[in-house]
Amino acid sequence: MRDILLIALFAALGATGAGLLGAVALRLLRRRSLTTSIAVVASVAVGAMLAGTLAVAWAMFLSSHDLTVVTTVVAMAAVVSLATALLLGRWVVARSRELAVAARSFGDGGDFAAPAVPATAELEALSRELATTSARLAESRDRERALETSRRELVAWISHDLRTPLAGLRAMSEALEDGVAADPDRYLRQIRTEVERLNGMVGDLFELSRIHVGALALSPSRMSLYDLVGDALAGADPLARELGVRLVGDQVDPVPVEVDGKEMSRVLGNLLVNAIRRTPADGTVAVTAERSPEGVVLSVTDGCGGIPEEDLPRVFDTGWRGTHARTPPAGAGLGLAIVRGIVEAHKGRAAVRNIPGGCRFEVTLPAVEG
């Protein structure tokens, strides 16, 4: 037992010396290639074995022949170990370079394509993470392009919509200033109308900017949808009468909701005005409210004739204004974007779908007990 302990002690001392030298070498070569580090690790393993063997041989006074045999065996093992380490290092480095080239491709705006040659488990995991990141970047680029397109369209439409009333205001003010207006009172009434229109557009832009920057402060309170819808119908009734459109709201359940009354009144007002303006004379705009498994569903149905299927995903986009089956509105296409922003701020969602003869806008809000 004592001899075994001595052998273990001498072997440990020799291996420790080799290990310390290997640690110093790894620290000095830490910025070099992975192949170098693997070769150092293999050398440390063989060197530790050789050092331990030599220490034991010296302590046990082995013959020179036995020491030569042991040294030759260890040397052969060192050659094979170093060759294997170099091959492994070169293979890992090659896979790393392929991964770096693939990563550089999606960093330049392309899509990440994982190397075809299999790699280690760690490199494979890194490849999967890069593929996931590439997909997220592609989605972000798509969203950015869509937002940029939306912003450009919004600027173009706002510029167009502002130019018309401003030109009219300028012409009427010049006519009044020169004293050539045949009916000054009519000009003043028209100026007031145009100013109110501009004020509404500016108000919509301000509301939309608050929604986009997350500065829409809500003051929710418990109220009945029946009262909320009743007030909205009363506010939209004059416009409906002027355009010959019937308003129907007899399918509204008195279900409670926790909402900001002012903001939700704006949502209903925008939806009703949007529906009334696009429904032909003698048409009907219906409002319903009911419970559903998903919450409380508030819907506004019009008789616009339907929305082209390709336009349905863009209805709530900022600046979207319908074409084809829908008559272009007088505003800048901000009303429905404001609707979606306010509804989402209430943890709800807004949707639209076609129905026979028109379309149905749905606002789903979280239900409350009661």
What is the distance between the alpha carbons of residues 45 and 296, in angstroms, rounded to a whole number? 70
Residue 298: per-residue pLDDT: 92
Which stretch of 53-67, 187-201, 269-283, 290-304 has the lowest confidence by average pLDDT?
A: 53-67
Residue 284: per-residue pLDDT: 92
Residue 106 in contact with residue 137, Cβ under 8 Å?
A: yes
Residue 325: per-residue pLDDT: 37
| Tally of CB atoms within 10 A around 123 | 17
80-126: pLDDT as tens digits: 777 777 777 777 777 777 777 777 766 556 677 777 666 667 777 77
**How far, rounded to the nearest angstrom, does the alpha carbon of residue 352 sit from its chain's CA centroid?**
22
Instruction: Name the average pLDDT for the chain.
Output: 78
What is the distance between the alpha carbons of residues 154 and 337, in angstroms, rounded to a whole number? 11
163-220: pLDDT as tens digits: 777 888 888 888 888 887 778 888 888 888 888 878 877 877 777 777 777 777 888 8
What is the distance between the alpha carbons of residues 57 and 61, in angstroms, rounded to a whole number? 6
Residue 30: per-residue pLDDT: 63
H/E run at residue 246: strand 246-252
Global pTM value: 0.56
| Tally of CB atoms within 10 A around 302 | 27
185-196: pLDDT as tens digits: 888 888 888 888
Q: Where does the pLDDT of residue 329 fall: very low under 50, low under 70, confident under 90, or very high at 90 and above?
A: very low
What is the distance between the alpha carbons of residues 359 and 338, in angstroms, rounded to a whole number? 19
Residue 351: per-residue pLDDT: 92
Residue 256: per-residue pLDDT: 87
What's the order of all strands across the beta sheet hosting 295-301? Answer: 246-252, 284-292, 295-301, 358-365, 349-355
Place of tokens 């052969």: 76
Q: What is the mean pLDDT of residues 324-352?
A: 74
What is the distance between the alpha carbons of residues 16 and 22, in angstroms, rounded to a whole number? 10
And the tokens for 206?
A: 């301000």
Place of tokens 């910025």: 31
Percent of the chain with pLDDT over 90: 13
Q: What's the sign of the alpha-carbon dihedral 198, 203, 206, 211? A: negative
In sequence order, what DSSP letters do the residues of 120-163 get, joined into one string? -HHHHHHHHHHHHHHHHHHHHHHHHHHHHHHHHHHHHHHHHHHH
Percent of the chain with pLDDT over 70: 76
Residue 331 in contact with residue 220, Cβ under 8 Å?
A: no
2-23: pLDDT as tens digits: 656 665 665 666 667 666 776 7
Residue 57 in contact with residue 6, Cβ under 8 Å?
A: no
Helix orientation angle between 2-28 and 34-60, rounded to the nearest 10 degrees: 150
Residue 159: per-residue pLDDT: 74
Q: What is the mean pLDDT of residues 340-358?
A: 90
324 pLDDT above the threshold of 60: no
213: three-class secondary structure by DSSP = coil
What is the distance between the alpha carbons of residues 114 and 49, in angstroms, rounded to a whole number? 40
Strand partners, 117: none
Greater pLDDT, 267 or 370:
267
